[in-house]
């Protein structure tokens, strides 16, 4: 869908942008006196890159206005400046943005999603909303507009993500604005989704690779990306251009993971090359899970490569971008390694817990001799009349716990229920069947590590809720 088809004011569907209809109050070079703070409207301020940019702009003395879908999220993110409510998925007309642009000198759009959902679509968040904002900037006489796009949003774009980014980029650069399109490559930094994924992969005892990991990436550290965008805000550079923000050099995926592993002071890795056909199958399955970063499109983007010339980045930074081996500094090493290890160890623990419940349920339903199960229940004080109901009810509960452990996204109350049930089972067996504590296979002793694992999972589930 073209930007003109999103019912932007002053346009008929299918028509080209009518630049002559726009009025601009900022001809020539914009002038920002050093003693006067620049008023900057920033969208996407709760995002990985946007939140860091908001703080950097405020630290530089600028007056930051964060346009947020839910301004109450500002407190949780500790965002600086003023907050205004603006929803990129709903504000799809220039008139929707006009009230927020009074007195604004610079607009930075940092809104972006990697995957669509039922409520977040590329057509609105990447195209209709930003294009309406850009058009409103012309009407309001905004002196500078910076759109944070993505490397790969070019004429060769194949993915819907890249195509939607390019559509908004093209629209912006056709307008009579002092505009720049920033196209970062993979941005690495603490808290970033891609950084978490690559750090987890780098710490794995056996690292799976698509093919032999020869796909080219050129990651840039988030601090370098923020510094480069700050330079664009404060200096007259790259007007009307697309600027690639990339790392110092292209590296293969395999090399990138090795460098991250070395930065976390881990032994040289073992790699497991996977056939591309198998990776594509996994990507197809991953597309069914919202939390998964692997789907057909992201795999396609990785296979296409994500590299660009680093000259513009060097000019903006006044130095060479940080090397991947320096992405994790020595003071960050221990914490980054611990979080990365937990990133794949916690799912492993959750899977193990699920297997315990599922197998227990299946065994109780008939694998274990039913008469022996009834005998144990009788010794535990369960009357013969109630024995079948208790046996099959407990087995069904075990299966429900196992399925919930695998499928639920928020498992806090599930962990508490499992912990309570294990404690109840342990007390009953201790009272009525104490000999199981001395059994050579340790059927009750195994509850001790189960309780410890559940306490750990409860603690981390609480941490995720607070975040």
Task: Tell me whether residue 58 is in a domain.
Answer: yes
In order of 147, 296, 341, the CA distances from 329 in angstroms are 30, 33, 17
Confidence of residue 234 (pLDDT cuts 50, 70, 90): confident
Q: Is the separation of the CB atoms in 43 and 30 below 8 Å?
A: no
d(CA 27, CA 109): 22
Quote the domain boundaries for residue 386. 344-466
CATH of the domain at 94: 3.40.50.720
Task: Tell me whether residue 282 is in a domain.
Answer: no
What is the pTM (predicted TM-score) of this model? 0.82
List CB contacts of 112: < 8 A, sequence separation 6 or more.
44, 47, 125, 126, 148, 150, 165
Q: pLDDT per residue over 236-279, tens digit each?
A: 788 999 999 999 999 999 999 999 999 999 999 999 999 999 99
Task: Tell me whether residue 227 is in a domain.
Answer: no
Q: pLDDT per residue over 357-375, tens digit each?
A: 999 999 998 788 888 888 8
Task: Tell me whether residue 87 is in a domain.
Answer: yes
% of the chain surpassing 70 pLDDT: 90
Q: If residue 199 lies in a helix (H) or strand (E), which one and from where to where? A: helix 193-203
d(CA 397, CA 146): 55
Task: Tell me whether residue 45 is in a domain.
Answer: yes
Q: Which of the listed residues 184, 213, 233 is the one where a domain comes to its end?
A: 184
d(CA 184, CA 167): 16
Total of domains in the chain: 2
- Bridge partner residues of 217 (DSSP): 251, 306
Q: Residue 462's pLDDT is what?
A: 65
Task: Tell me whether residue 277 is in a domain.
Answer: no
Q: What is the largest CA-CA distance in the chain?
A: 92
Q: Which of the listed residues 184, 216, 251 is the one where a domain comes to its end?
A: 184
Q: Which of the listed residues 121, 156, 184 is the one where a domain comes to its end?
A: 184
Q: If residue 316 lies in a helix (H) or strand (E), which one and from where to where? A: helix 311-317
Instruction: Give the pair of three-digit tokens for residue 374.
Output: 């009834």
Q: pLDDT per residue over 170-228, tens digit each?
A: 999 999 999 999 999 999 998 888 889 899 999 999 999 999 999 999 999 999 999 99
Task: Tell me whether residue 95 is in a domain.
Answer: yes
């Amino acid at each position: 869908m073209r930007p003109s088809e999103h019912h932007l004011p002053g346009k008929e569907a299918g028509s080209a942008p009518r630049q002559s209809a726009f009025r601009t109050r900022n001809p020539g070079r914009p002038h920002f006196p050093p003693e006067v703070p620049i008023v900057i409207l920033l969208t996407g301020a709760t995002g990985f890159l946007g939140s860091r940019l908001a703080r950097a702009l405020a630290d530089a003395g600028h007056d930051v206005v964060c346009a947020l879908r839910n301004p109450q999220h500002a407190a949780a993110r500790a965002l600086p400046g003023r907050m205004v409510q603006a929803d990129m998925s709903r504000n799809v007309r220039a008139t929707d943005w006009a009230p927020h642009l009074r007195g604004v000198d610079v607009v930075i759009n940092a809104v972006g999603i990697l995957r669509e959902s039922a409520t977040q679509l590329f057509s609105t968040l990447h195209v209709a909303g930003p294009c309406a904002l850009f058009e409103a900037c012309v009407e309001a006489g905004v002196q500078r507009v910076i759109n944070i796009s993505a490397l790969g949003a070019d004429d060769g774009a194949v993915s819907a993500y890249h195509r939607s980014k390019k559509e908004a980029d093209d629209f912006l650069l056709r307008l009579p604005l002092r505009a720049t399109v920033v196209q970062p490559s993979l941005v690495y930094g603490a808290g970033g989704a891609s950084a978490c994924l690559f750090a987890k992969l780098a710490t794995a005892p056996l690292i799976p690779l698509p093919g032999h990991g020869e796909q080219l990436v050129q990651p840039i550290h988030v601090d370098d990306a923020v510094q480069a965008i700050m330079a664009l805000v404060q200096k007259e550079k790259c007007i009307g251009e697309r600027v690639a923000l990339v790392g110092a050099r292209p590296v293969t995926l395999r090399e990138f993971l090795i460098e991250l592993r070395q930065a976390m002071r881990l032994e040289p890795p073992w790699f497991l090359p996977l056939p591309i056909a198998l990776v594509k199958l996994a990507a197809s399955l991953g597309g069914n899970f919202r939390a998964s970063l692997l789907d057909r499109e992201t795999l396609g983007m990785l296979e296409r490569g994500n590299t660009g010339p680093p000259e513009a980045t060097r000019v903006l930074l006044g130095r060479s971008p940080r090397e991947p081996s320096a992405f994790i500094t020595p003071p960050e090493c221990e914490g980054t390694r611990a979080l990365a290890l937990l990133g794949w160890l916690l799912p492993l623990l959750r899977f193990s817990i699920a297997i315990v419940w599922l197998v227990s349920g299946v065994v109780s339903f008939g694998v274990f001799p039913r008469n022996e199960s009834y005998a144990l229940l009788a010794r535990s004080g369960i009357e013969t009349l109630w024995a079948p109901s208790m046996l099959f009810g407990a087995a069904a509960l075990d299966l429900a716990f196992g399925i919930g452990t695998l499928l639920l996204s928020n498992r806090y109350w599930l962990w508490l229920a499992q912990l309570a049930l294990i404690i109840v089972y342990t007390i009953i067996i201790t009272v009525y069947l104490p000999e199981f504590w001395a059994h050579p296979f340790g059927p009750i002793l195994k509850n001790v590590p189960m309780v410890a694992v559940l306490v750990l999972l409860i603690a981390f589930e609480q941490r995720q809720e607070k975040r």
